[in-house]
């Protein structure tokens, strides 16, 4: 049937993409060779009008090829402007694909990543909101946008997003004990281990720590009187966010970085579009440690605790050097 033939073509294009990456093909032109046919089928065909899944898949592959070609063509830091111009072309393709099929999750993911890369936070946020990411997805997918707005100066909008994450973690902390109690009452003991594992993963979630630190960072830039800002830092609970090497090592990274629908294995970093399209490095243990120390130092400054300030400042410099 036509649908089977279309899917076979998509599979062939996936194989062709992988073969090029495995062959270490660094010629940008070869990555976009024949792309017109992919776009014609994905965006301007009878099948596209019928919202055939293969058309969205083909549009995604075409956009991935354009993104890869852009990074290969402009790898140097001083070529950032040309790179962003090339990525805008890929964004146009992604937007056209979204317009054809608004339910295509992966097209929106790539559009979000590219909009952040070219510093267009508002459109990235609008697309993110259409994904209806909530509950446990805030822990696995919240990294896609959480904190990126602050890097672009959009503190208020990003802070609202952080509060959504903080509220989820607080609700989960309250809900799991009730679920455990219910499991004991009903005798469904096989569920208890799962609940305990779930509780541990969330309690020691790396994304949870990132969300809380981003929230603190955003609150520091909220508008207010000088007195209000100073009072906020005086009253801030900075003890509960202190980390040791042991507590950092115990964190679980639940973030789903494989959600991007890559055409290559994730360990092929040179060809990994999830890594290439990061607008900022993915926060990790070092980031959490550093942004846990900054609020503590702010607290020391406001409280004029010079002795503790010197100690914390040395710890911060050591953490930065280690990072």
Q: Considering only CA atoms, which of 296, 167, 307 is closest in space to residue 241?
A: 296
Q: What residues form DSSP beta bridges with 205?
A: 252
| Mean local confidence (pLDDT), 7-16 | 96
| Mean local confidence (pLDDT), 153-166 | 91
Q: Considering only CA atoms, which of 111, 109, 108 is closest in space to residue 90?
A: 111
Give residue 1's pLDDT band: very low, low, confident or very high (50, 70, 90).
low
185: pLDDT strictly greater than 80: no
Least confident of 137-146, 192-201, 270-279: 192-201
Digit-coded pLDDT (tens) for 215-266: 988 887 776 778 888 888 888 888 888 888 888 999 999 999 999 999 999 8
pTM score over 0.95: no
Give residue 80's pLDDT band: very low, low, confident or very high (50, 70, 90).
very high
Long-range contacts of 313-316 (CB under 8 A, 24+ apart): 316/290
| Mean local confidence (pLDDT), 133-152 | 93
State the angle between helix axes of 53-73 and 2-22 in degrees (0 to 180), rounded to the nearest 10: 20
Residue 205 backbone phi and psi in degrees, to 5: -80, 135
Eight-class DSSP state of 252: B
- Site of tokens 């290439």: 276
Q: What is the mean pLDDT of the chain?
A: 91
pLDDT: which is higher, 191 or 170? 170
163: pLDDT strictly greater than 80: yes
The whole-angstrom separation of Cα 42 and Cα 1 is 18
Digit-coded pLDDT (tens) for 25-78: 999 999 999 999 999 999 999 999 999 999 999 999 999 999 999 999 999 999
* Concatenated DSSP letters of 5-29: HHHHHHHHHHHHHHHHHHTT---HH
Count other C-beta atoms under 10 Å from residue 127's C-beta: 21
Amino acid 226: pLDDT: 81
Among positive and negative, which fits the CA dihedral 186, 187, 189, 192? Answer: positive
155: pLDDT strictly greater than 80: yes
Amino acid 223: pLDDT: 63
Query: CB-hemisphere CA count at 13 Å for 167?
Result: 8
Amino acid 240: pLDDT: 82
* Concatenated DSSP letters of 82-99: HHHHHHHHHHHHHHHHHH
- Site of tokens 């090592």: 249
């Amino acid at each position: 049937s036509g649908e089977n033939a279309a899917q076979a073509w998509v599979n062939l294009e996936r194989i062709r993409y992988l073969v090029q990456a495995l062959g270490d093909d660094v010629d940008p032109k070869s990555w976009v060779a024949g792309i017109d046919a992919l776009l014609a089928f994905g965006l301007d065909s009878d099948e596209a009008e019928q919202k055939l899944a293969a058309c969205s898949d083909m549009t995604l592959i075409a956009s991935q090829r354009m993104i890869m070609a852009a990074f290969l063509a402009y790898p140097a830091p001083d070529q950032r402007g040309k790179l962003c111009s090339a990525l805008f072309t890929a964004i146009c393709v992604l937007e056209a694909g979204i317009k054809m099929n608004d339910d295509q999750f992966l097209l929106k993911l790539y559009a979000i990543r590219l909009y952040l890369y070219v510093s267009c936070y508002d459109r990235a946020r609008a697309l993110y909101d259409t994904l209806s990411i909530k509950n446990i997805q805030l822990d696995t997918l919240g990294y896609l946008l959480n904190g990126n707005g602050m890097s672009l100066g959009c503190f208020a909008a990003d802070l609202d997003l952080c509060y959504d994450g903080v509220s989820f973690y607080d609700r989960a902390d309250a809900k799991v004990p009730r679920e455990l109690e219910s499991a004991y009452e009903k005798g469904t003991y096989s569920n208890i281990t799962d609940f305990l594992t779930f509780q541990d993963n969330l309690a020691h979630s790396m994304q949870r720590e990132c969300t809380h630190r981003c929230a603190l960072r955003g609150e520091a830039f909220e508008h207010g009187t000088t007195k209000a800002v100073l009072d906020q830092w005086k009253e801030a609970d900075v003890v509960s966010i202190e980390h040791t090497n042991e507590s950092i090592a115990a964190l679980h990274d639940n973030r789903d970085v494989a959600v991007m629908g890559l055409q290559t294995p994730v360990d092929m970093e040179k060809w990994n579009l999830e890594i290439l399209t990061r607008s900022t490095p993915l926060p990790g243990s070092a980031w959490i440690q550093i942004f846990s120390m900054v609020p503590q130092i702010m607290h020391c400054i406001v409280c004029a605790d010079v002795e503790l300030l010197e100690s914390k400042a040395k710890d911060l410099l050591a953490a930065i050097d280690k990072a």
